[in-house]
Structure 1
Amino acid sequence: MRIILDLQACQAASMHRGIGRYSMALAQAMARQCGGHELHLALNGQFDAGATAVRAAFDTLLPAERIHVFDMLAPVAEYDPRNAWRARAAERLRQHYLAGLKPDVVHLASLFEGLSDDAVAACPPSSGRFASAVTLYDLIPLLRKDVYLTEPRAAAWYYRKLQGLKNAELLLAISGHSRREGLAALQLPAERIVNISSAVDPIFRPRQLSEDAATALRARYGLSRRFIMYTGGVDYRKNIEGLIEAYAMLPEALRRGHQLAVVCSIQPTDRHRLQQLATKLGLPDGDLVLTGFVSDDDLVSLYNSTALFVFPSLQEGFGLPALEAMQCGVPVIGSDSSSIPEVIGRADALFDPTSVAAISAKMAQVLDDAGFAATLAAHGLEQAKLFSWDASAKTALAAFEDCHAARQGASGAVAATGRRPRLAYVSPLPPERSGIADYSADLLPELARYYEIDVVLAQDKVGEPWLDANFAQRSVEWFDGHAGEYDRIVYHFGNSAFHQHMFGLLERHPGVVVLHDFFMSGITNYAAGASPYPNAYSRALYLSHGYRALIDERADGLEASIYQYPCNRSVLDHAAGIIVHSQHSRQLAEHWYGAGSAADWRMIPLLRMLPERIDKAAARRLLGIPDGQFVVCSFGMLAVTKCNDQIVEAWLGSALASDTDARLVFVGENDALQFGRALEQRIAGSNVSITGFASQDSYRLYLAAADAAVQLRSRSRGETSATVLDCLSFRLPTVINAHGSAAEVPAHVAIRLADRFSRDDLAAALLRLRREPALRALLSDEAGAYMAALHHPARIGVAYRDAIEEFARDGAHTAERELLAALAAIDGAVGPDEADLLATASCIAANRPRAGQPQVLVDVSALADSTRRPADAAAQEALLLRLLAAPPDGHRVEPVLWRHDHYRYARRYALALIERPELVLDEGAAELRAGDYLLSPYAAAPAIAAATLANRGVRQLALPAGDDTEAALAQLTAALAPGGATAAAPLTAEAS
């Protein structure tokens, strides 16, 4: 392999920091261990002094011609908004330069550079030319964003860098903790992050100082007696304040015998603040020593001179100072959090960094017990041997080899040219209170690995900083005028007002539709008020479901109609492809629109963020849940569709109601109507409670704190229950019922009741979870494994990419666009006239595959003509009305008229017949497809139509004669049933 190491971290602001030293040491070890691989370095020409230092460091390790320097724009420091264009241009220049070196792998030593200097560190999505690897130090700012990401420009820079981490094919974590942190916070698959560990410079070793050298060292830094030492920087997470407080709590004799030395560079404001803290705590002058910057040589001497090294950090990517001190052979104690335990490697050397008393007690134990201190020092020397730069380099190179091999064996969707398709992403986003908005916030960073994405919004702002920093935002109006500039368009449709603007956009600019709710009747009715068409909801209802839906709407009312009918035909017909989250949605399509109607849909499981670590004890403390209490939660807004009343009855009717150590919590907003009021009355005085509206943070706390969950559904509208999947993601033993998409959850993953369960069955399931901890443990493990295998964000991102590209390559809309382009490219001496174009358009429309059920076309030419009405017209209309109200299974009934040599839909006549004359529907030429039937009161269709209908596969049935409507209906139903088509009469050339 040809490997390029981008070592700007050894040139720019990080040059003299821990990241710069880590990067240099690892790169030098890679040069020693690279074997048959061809190793090159890439440096930034804006940093001459740094480039000179790097060249000197590799003088004996690499040929000079393998060290490359690229020219770069300046200034590009991203904190200054005036540099924005140059910064983006510089990233592209760097990427182009690196591609010209023909690498197999490019490793970026530090991605988080360039905020305040001219480093150009970026990791764009793969171009297909080489694999990208990045060192992962930590994600502390992301995990403590309230501390580190409060400044908007710095936050935007950081979130752009986070997207770069997701883009990389490989991350090299500096510790097991950093790897786990990356897997959880970035939702990456396990193979994308490799722990290469860390090591320290060999200058850190035991050293004997002469008495004169020791005296001079102490004098330089104001050390007059034995001292306790810390080094590592002044920062919130370093917990220096906690260390000073712990030192102040030491027994007076120990404190009088030891100073506390904070060894690091320190800003004047921090120096003043820490000295003020020492004074407040009653520490005499000189007890706290703030050394300021020390040289590496003095740092080694200080390590060797200390009585105890303390590392109280709240969070670390690795914790190099602790290892440096251990390698010098001195006693080391540290936090029991993040990566520090794997560095120190000894449980009795750890303390809780959030407890000042725990820090002080551990310090006192070491200072009071010389034997314990000696064992810690000896352990540190042995533990330090487990870490070496050569071992880290070998692990990194092996990871490069695996990444390169996987890339060679994979078939990516990105073209060899490296240009990512440009994608318009139409969806609500946070802060809109929509589950689809939250879903899109999780999906977009995954799709950004494969597409250049603009988000199309019908909202004023985006409340998610990652999205704000990484995706251009376009208004609906702007997109309407520029949709043709995009290679791909994706719409996220749900049954709520957040999606009102999408209907017109989809009709004008077809794209892939992610159908979160199969039923669109609620939003269709809501949007009807703004529609330019009269009776827009009824029109959509008819187009989706025919006259029977209009009859039911008149009889049962609008609300019942909205509940009963999906009303989604316009979305399905204009989509360039359909993505759903469950097989249940496909089954609904087959039910409503006929067999095969969802054959080309793609089912992609619902993306869910998977927590790597669940701190149940901390969540319960925050929520005030006592230790030992068995807590069952049910999540989501309370409603009859969530079966909350049935859950309450099962709970109160079981032994759980009198169990003082059990509690049922409904986490969500209660129904404001009678259902919710009755529920509150029923649970009054019991061990059942309702939280009210739960924020995202509160929701996740209850997920972490619960012992089990119960998530039941009825009256599914084709949606996929995110709350069921969230429960499984948090590894909660969960009771579900086999309704809608939940029926697809395997029986070994949750306790799955029947769709229509009994109260006793539900109570028994809840009692099993209460009484059988082994069952809870088994279900917890199965749930975690199931979610990781099917719903992991990275897996879902790939599935979306593949589906979108498949639709773009093979979809009907793509084929039609290619046809239109081919027609437009025809070059002839005489171009088409208007008649040619109209005829061509008619052929294109007629040749489209059927969308929807086969039609039963009823010829009402005579019935609709007052001059020709037959004697049995009343009987025929009674039969037709029955057919319209209850079409034969799998068919759509449409009255038609023979006019001007073709059949037209008889919509005005039909609306009058069903007593909906107030509605207005267009009357156009009837679409005739194979599998349709023509019902006529006579033996044959008009002569001119016979051959055409026969060739199109339309078959004729004679309308039964007589006044017996029931018998006629039975006869027709039998003829139209599967296998009954043989009863159809052959078409003849006789006139009607």
Structure 2
Amino acid sequence: MKFLIFTPAIQTSAIGRMTSVVTHALVSQKHEVVIVRTEMAGYLTTETHDFGCNIISWLDTTEVEANIVRADACIHQIGDNYQFHQGSVEWLTRHSGIVCLHDFFLGNLFWGWAHNNIEQAREVLKTYYSKEASERFFNINSSEEFIELTKDQWPMTEWICSMASGTVTHSNWGCDRVLKSCPGPVRVVPLAYNSPGLALAGTKQKRIPSTKLKLLTIGHVNPNKRVESCIKAIGGNPTLRETVSYRLVGAIQPEMKVKILELAQSLSVDVEVSGEVDADTLAHAIIDADLVSCLRWPSLEAASASAIEAMLYGKTTVVTNTGFYSELPEQYVLKINHVNEIEELEATLLSLHANPDLLEVKGQQAQEWAKSTFTAENYARQLVDMSSACIRTSSTLKAASYYAAILHGWGADTSLLQNNESLVPLAIFNQCYQH
């Protein structure tokens, strides 16, 4: 098959990294792939991931349109970051495609798009939610209030999925809105990921029992990473203050860094803030860690690359028992209830301090499971199957769209087309296509 894949390509994009792994798998399975970079114009000259195929810009309209005509399937890898996914949003409004949904919450993506499409955005909010949503969405004062108000009421999942010919996502927990809004097939597929720095693990010495337990958080440091809770859990117990060190590796705002270090100092907690680092330094940080915190609240993503990467490196991983993390088998991760987050994390750390051998045992079990679950080969095969399914249903969807337009012109309720009495006869278009 011939695939046209829309994705951020910049090296700081985890979605771009995942797509590069899948692209290589597709090429090895004898498929043709062209990548369309989807970042804002200012990022389009930056160094990219290695995709092993031709890369074009979403702004090159002539080239993109020519590749759409040639492609058997257009695939959009989409997350909640307008700076990285502007091109996908722009092209989805012109030409439908399969959406690989990395976040069930797309409020920030929608916010970025809406600034240049404000009236259309208000209509989208009114259509999928309410008049109140269209009036309040753009008058929220802070990022914390924005997330709290919109994550459950107006997550904008429906906005993207309604433009998709089919949707692939990476966990079940947020699929209700996808199923209600996507007109084509929906499939849950484990996220593809790898651990390219694992070869460096040969340089790691065996853990000395008398040394401190090394806790690590990776990724952009923001409130939902629960960093302050980790510090409070350590600082609230005299044994943990003496036996646990905590490192943060990832982009961090100066004011956040000051706040975290002040809290750590006040509680006598050993904290190191490394900031954003290169790939090798990140790999060494994970290898050196004994325990990785992937606590998240709220949890808005369809899957966590950080948790998957930690398991692939054979690390014991602590997660919040919510969203994607709740679907991970309990024998491979340590789950924390958000309601008693600090108390349960403290108890978990004390248990690991008392039984350090559990770190290696649980880490190795998680690694074996992750290696067989989050594979690029499986993801590539699922994309091929999904593309074939979307081709088979495309005639029915076009017919439904045609009749919906007629009903709309008459002023009738287009929900009539959702009834089985209407859908079953439309299946004849699939049969015609197959013959």
Q: TM-score, length-normalised on structure 2?
A: 0.82
Give 1:771 deviation, angstroms: 2.1
Aligned pair partner of 2:245 in 663, 668, 682: 663
Aligned mates of 1:462, 1:712 — CA distance in 2: 31
- Is 1:509 matched up with 2:95? yes
Aligned to 1:282: none
Contact 1:728/1:784 (<8 A) preserved: yes
Alignment-derived partner of residue 434 in structure 1: 13
Question: How far does the alpha carbon of each residue in 1:817-856 deviate from its partner, in whole angstroms, 9 at most, with x for none?
Answer: 5x6xxxxxxxxxxxxxxxxxxxx975254689xxxxxxxx
Between the aligned partners of 2:298 and 2:313, the Cα distance in structure 1 is 26
Distance 2:114 2:303 in 1: 26
Q: Does 1:457 align with 2:37?
A: yes
Contact 2:213 2:245 in 1 (8 A): yes
Q: Give the distance between the partners of 2:194 and 2:122, measured in 1 at CA.
A: 40
Match of 1:640 in 2: 223
Shift of 1:697: 1.7
What does residue 843 of structure 1 align with?
Answer: 403
Deviations 1:272-293 (A, max 9, x none): xxxxxxxxxxxxxxxxxxxxxx
Supply the AA of the counterpart residue of 1:805.
S
Contact 2:8 2:15 in 1 (8 A): yes
> Aligned partners of 1:734, 1:795: CA distance in 2, in Å?
24
Task: Quote how far apart the aligned CAs of 1:654 are.
Answer: 1.9
The counterpart of 1:745, out of the listed 328, 342, 361, is: 328
Q: How far does the alpha carbon of each residue in 1:762-816 deviate from its partner, in whole angstroms, 9 at most, with x for none?
A: 111012222213322221121012102211222222222222222223x3x3434
Matched residue, 2:77: 492
Q: Are 1:722 and 2:302 an aligned pair?
A: no
Contact 1:619 1:702 in 2 (8 A): no
| Residue 657 to residue 581, structure 1, CA distance change in 2 (3 Å) | same
Measured in 2, the distance between the counterparts of 1:750 and 1:800 equals: 28
Larger Rg: 1
Change beyond 3 A, Cα 1:757–1:800:
farther
Residue identity matched to 2:190: P
For residues 977-988 of structure 1, what are the structure 2 equivalents within 5 Å?
Answer: none
The answer to whether the aligner puts 1:580 opposite 2:161 as a matched pair is no
Question: CA shift at 1:616, angstroms?
Answer: 4.2
Q: Which aligned pairs between 1:858-877 and structure 2 lie closer than 5 A?
A: none
Corresponding residue SS for 1:716: coil
Pairwise CA distance, 1:708: 1.3
> Contact (CA 8 Å) 1:524, 1:540: kept in 2 or not?
no
1:800 maps to 2:389: no
1:680 aligns with 2:265: no
How far did residue 553 of structure 1 move?
A: 3.2
Letter in 2 for 1:486: A
User: Aligned partners of 1:513, 1:739: CA distance in 2, in Å?
Assistant: 24
Deviations 1:590-611 (A, max 9, x none): 6xx58xx799311111111146
What's the counterpart of residue 288 of structure 2? 705
Deviation at 1:930, TM superposition (A): 7.4
Change in 2 beyond 3 A, CA 1:470/1:782 = same
* Preserved contact between residue 101 and residue 167 of structure 2 (Cα < 8 Å): yes
Provide the residue aligned with 2:416 in structure 1.
Answer: 929
Partner of 2:168, secondary structure, is: strand
What does residue 236 of structure 2 align with?
A: 653
Report the equivalent of 1:141: none
**CA shift for structure 1 position 472:** 4.8
Change in CA separation of 1:567 and 1:558 when aligned onto 2, cut-off 3 Å: farther
Deviation at 1:516, TM superposition (A): 1.0
**Deviation string for 1:168-222 (max 9, x for gaps)?**
xxxxxxxxxxxxxxxxxxxxxxxxxxxxxxxxxxxxxxxxxxxxxxxxxxxxxxx
Q: Secondary structure at the match of 1:425?
A: strand
Which residue number in structure 2 is paired with residue 539 of structure 1? Answer: 123
Question: Partner of 1:781 in structure 2?
Answer: 364
How far residue 526 of structure 1 moved from its aligned partner, in angstroms, is 1.1
Distance 1:574 1:671 in 2: 35
Distance 1:653 1:447, change over 3 A: same
- Give the match for residue 606 of structure 1: 191
Structure 1 residues 761 and 798, CA, compared in 2 at 3 Å: closer, same or farther?
A: same
Aligned-partner residue type, residue 815 of structure 1:
T
Q: Percent identity?
A: 17
In structure 2, give the amino acid aligned to 1:424.
Answer: L
SS at match of 2:298: coil
Paired position in structure 1 for 2:159: 570
- Matches of 2:370 and 2:407, distance apart in 1: 43
Distance between the aligned counterparts of 1:754 and 1:535, measured in 2? 41
* Secondary structure of 1:715's aligned partner: coil
Letter in 2 for 1:549: A
CA contact (8 A) 2:56 2:63 kept: no
Q: Secondary structure at 1:691's aligned position in 2?
A: strand
Q: Secondary structure at the match of 1:756?
A: helix
Residue 451 of structure 1 deviates from its aligned partner by: 2.0
User: Which digits, 9 at most, give the CA deviation of each residue in 1:833-884, with x for residues without a partner?
Assistant: xxxxxxx975254689xxxxxxxxxxxxxxxxxxxxxxxxxxxxxxxxxxxx
Q: Give 2:258's aligned amino acid.
A: R
CA distance in 1, matches of 2:254, 2:109: 21
**In the alignment, residue 106 of structure 2 is paired with which amino acid?**
M
Q: Note if contact 1:586-1:598 (Cα within 8 Å) is conserved in structure 2.
A: no
Q: CA deviation at 1:735?
A: 1.4
Q: 1:639 to 1:506 in 2, by over 3 A?
A: same
Matched, 1:630 2:213: yes
Q: Which residue of 1 aligns with 2:107?
A: 521
* Contact 2:122–2:135 (Cα < 8 Å) also in 1: no
SS at match of 1:710: strand
- The 5 A counterparts of 1:419-430 are 421-430=1-10
Following superposition, the deviation at residue 672 of structure 1 comes to 3.8
Q: Secondary structure at the match of 1:439?
A: helix
Shift of residue 581, structure 1, vs aligned partner: 0.9
Asked if the contact 1:495–1:522 (Cα under 8 Å) also holds between the matched residues in 2, the reply is yes
Q: Deviations over 1:41-62 (max 9, x none)?
A: xxxxxxxxxxxxxxxxxxxxxx
In the alignment, the residues of structure 1 paired with residue 95 and residue 264 of structure 2 have an alpha-carbon distance, to the nearest angstrom, of 51
TM-aligned CA distance change 1:769 to 1:558, over 3 Å: closer
TM-score by length of 1: 0.38
What secondary structure sits across from 1:688 in the alignment? strand
Q: 2:396 matched to which residue of 1? A: 815
The structure with higher relative contact order (CA 8 Å, sep 6+) is 2
In structure 1, distance between residues paired with 2:132 and 2:332: 41
The structural deviation recorded for 1:437 is: 1.6
Letter in 2 for 1:521: G
Find the aligned partners of 2:88 and 2:17 in 1 and give their Cα distance.
Answer: 18
Residue equivalent to 2:277: 694
Q: Distance in 1 between matches of 2:147 and 2:246?
A: 33
Q: What SS is found at the alignment partner of 1:714? A: coil
Contact kept, 8 Å, 1:442 with 1:609, in 2: the verdict is yes
CA pair 461-670 structure 1, distance change in 2 beyond 3 A: closer
Contact 2:314 2:364 in 1 (8 A): yes
Q: Could you tell me how far 1:614 is from its partner in structure 2?
A: 5.3
Structure 2 CA distance for aligned equivalents of residues 436 and 491 of structure 1 = 11
Alpha-carbon distance in 2 for matches of 1:544, 1:717? 19
Higher helix fraction: Structure 1 or Structure 2?
2
Separation in 1, partners of 2:10, 2:264: 34
Q: 1:553 to 1:841 in 2, by over 3 A?
A: closer
Contiguous gaps of at least 5 residues in structure 2: 423-435
The separation in 1 between residues aligned to 2:69 and 2:45, in whole angstroms, is 24
The CA distance in 1 between the partners of 2:17 and 2:264, in whole Å, is 32
- Aligned partner letter, 2:108: G
